[in-house]
Structure 1
Amino acid sequence: MLPAAEPRAGVPKRGQIDRIGARVLEDLVESIVTGAVAIGEYLPPEQALCDEFGVSRTVIRECVKRIQEKGLVEVAQGRGTRVRPFNDWNVLDPLVFDSLVRHDESLGVLDEVSVVRAALEGVMASEVAATGSAESLLQIQGHLHDMRRLQDDNPAFLEADMQFHLSVMSASKNQIAATIARSFFVRPRQSARWDGNNPVDAVPRTLAEHERVFEAIEARNAVAARVAMEEHILGSWRRRRLPDGAHHLSP
């Protein structure tokens, strides 16, 4: 058994968040995202939060540290903990992002996610078309073959779809864009709102759009690859998007 790692010098030891603490953390994030505590306002004092959640000061202090790390608040000595402007929030943080999506009645967050994804993945597809290796193209093509083969198995088809996108990201060698796009690709798929109202011809249409993306990449047409990827991502979201304020549609 390997010895336990020694803490690095100068790095403060993080507190532990148990199940109760995790729930407090989620509730604090939610209160900020929903505007229950609005931007520029202060969280209740420490003792008030202890009383509200029925936990110790240690739990509250650790949770406040966590939401501070997520960019949601700033702690002013002697004044309290104030909610920071939205542009300071780490919206890629899983708790923050999930809360934003869950409470987004207009679906504006997912609309914006789709636009950002389309732009980033469009750029990466064009990079793969211009400079991608033959090996990387074979890998992307393999996932496309899987999509063709698995059209009657929806979960497996969606997995092959995801692997197609992730392979394009990886082949682009653009690590920053890939990291952001991967977050905006994986996290929304865990929300029922992202699934939305899939039309009956969703699978063949999705497959055809991926075919166009790969054909452009294989032809080394960077412009066509970018356009095909952007049209696929934006078009797919428009097809699935629920009406504003709707949580689901009846089958």
Structure 2
Amino acid sequence: MSEPGSLLRSLSGKPAARNFHTFVINEIGVGIVSGRFAVGSILPSDAEMMATFGVSRTVLREALRTLEAKGMVEARPKVGTRVSQKSRWNLFDQQVLAWHFEAELDADFIAGLFDIRASLEGRAADLASRRRTAEQVRLLKYWLHQMELAEDDAESHALAGLEVHRIIADASGNPLLRSSIGLVELTLALVAVAGHDVEKRRAARATLTADSHTLVAAIEAGDAPTAVDKMSAIIAFGLSRVLSVRRAAAARE
């Protein structure tokens, strides 16, 4: 899951095309983030993992090198490959963020995700209001229309929403803000799957669509304060939705 939108496309349960390299990276990455391979532990031997995943030593070693570059593991001579401390993980890496979707996230981590997103996207909305082009406004309106059409389809709605936020980041003119798209995608996925009540999920999508219209209108008008406020409101709504559903689920247990 390294391409923008790949996490959201997985919500339907449709298998994504993959090669052996990405398959092994994802399997081990999810295993680390979920705790199946505990922090500080030594991963199974090469022979064991080659048998488990049905891949060659070359594919396995390439996958482990990729994980080491992400700060997830550390190879030690005569010891093996150890799972690194969480403080070393590259949490802004798109794949690392996507793997967290498969894990049981605590409320503090979720709040942290939305907090960082608010800081970055608030600035993106501010800059986009000042720097947007006519073509970017046209694209924003196109994806708003796709959000409207997809209000009965959580995956399509979230993908259209991701495009809105991606274009706003592009319109900011700051390439570093564009790199936050993995963070945005993870939070959108968490909102998309929050709760089991069909009507409440549909109502949440309708709220996000309406607020996104206001956000885009403010950007088109060059109204930076309103754009920043509405971006903050969209993100706060998503966080409230995710945490309220979690609290309700915990109360039923």
Q: Same fold (TM over 0.5)?
A: yes
Matched, 1:178 2:178: yes
Structure 2 residue aligned with 1:243: 246
Answer yes or no: is the 8 Å Cα contact 1:107–1:245 preserved in 2.
no
For residues 164 and 49 of structure 1, the distance between their equivalents in structure 2, rounded to whole angstroms, comes to 40
1 or 2, which has the higher helix percentage?
2
Answer yes or no: is the 8 Å Cα contact 1:105–1:244 preserved in 2.
no
For residues 117 and 60 of structure 1, the distance between their equivalents in structure 2, rounded to whole angstroms, comes to 34
1:210-238 CA-partner distances (Å, limit 9, x unpaired): 23313432342323211210111221332
The one-letter code sitting in structure 1 at the alignment partner of 2:74 is: E
Structure 2 residue aligned with 1:8: none
Answer yes or no: is the 8 Å Cα contact 2:218–2:227 preserved in 1.
yes
C-alpha RMSD of matched pairs (Å): 3.6
SS in 2 for 1:40: coil
Matched, 1:213 2:215: yes
Deviation of 1:135 after TM superposition, in Å, equals: 4.1
For residues 54 and 160 of structure 1, the distance between their equivalents in structure 2, rounded to whole angstroms, comes to 36
The one-letter code sitting in structure 2 at the alignment partner of 1:71 is: G
For residues 53 and 95 of structure 1, the distance between their equivalents in structure 2, rounded to whole angstroms, comes to 19
For residues 147 and 49 of structure 1, the distance between their equivalents in structure 2, rounded to whole angstroms, comes to 42
SS in 2 for 1:75: strand
Structure 1 residue aligned with 2:225: 223
Which piece of structure 1 moves more, 237-246 or 84-93? 237-246
Q: TM-score, normalised by structure 1?
A: 0.70
Q: How does 1:25-104 map to 2 (within 5 A)?
A: 25-47=25-47, 49=49, 57-93=57-93, 95-104=95-104
CA 1:240–1:199 in 2, change beyond 3 Å: closer, same or farther? farther
Structure 2 residue aligned with 1:130: 130
1:157-204 CA-partner distances (Å, limit 9, x unpaired): 555433322221221111111121x22233555x57742134453244
CA 1:87–1:216 in 2, change beyond 3 Å: closer, same or farther? same
Structure 1 residue aligned with 2:234: 232
Answer yes or no: is the 8 Å Cα contact 1:199–1:239 preserved in 2.
no
For residues 226 and 183 of structure 2, the distance between their equivalents in structure 1, rounded to whole angstroms, comes to 23
Matched, 1:195 2:167: no
The one-letter code sitting in structure 2 at the alignment partner of 1:166 is: R
Answer yes or no: is the 8 Å Cα contact 1:110–1:194 preserved in 2.
no
Answer yes or no: is the 8 Å Cα contact 1:216–1:225 preserved in 2.
yes
CA 1:38–1:228 in 2, change beyond 3 Å: closer, same or farther? same
Answer yes or no: is the 8 Å Cα contact 1:25–1:63 preserved in 2.
yes
1:75-129 CA-partner distances (Å, limit 9, x unpaired): 2233332222213223344553333221225355444332222222211110011
CA 1:246–1:144 in 2, change beyond 3 Å: closer, same or farther? same
Q: TM-score, normalised by structure 2?
A: 0.70
Structure 1 residue aligned with 2:5: none
SS in 1 for 2:179: helix
SS in 1 for 2:101: helix
CA 1:64–1:147 in 2, change beyond 3 Å: closer, same or farther? closer
Ranges in structure 2 where 5+ consecutive residues have no aligned partner: 1-17
For residues 143 and 51 of structure 1, the distance between their equivalents in structure 2, rounded to whole angstroms, comes to 45
1:48-75 CA-partner distances (Å, limit 9, x unpaired): 5557667664454333223223321112
1:132-160 CA-partner distances (Å, limit 9, x unpaired): 23443344344445555x37664665554
Answer yes or no: is the 8 Å Cα contact 1:105–1:245 preserved in 2.
no
- Decide which structure has the larger Cα Rg and report it: 1
Tell me the percent identity.
Answer: 26
Answer yes or no: is the 8 Å Cα contact 1:74–1:82 preserved in 2.
yes
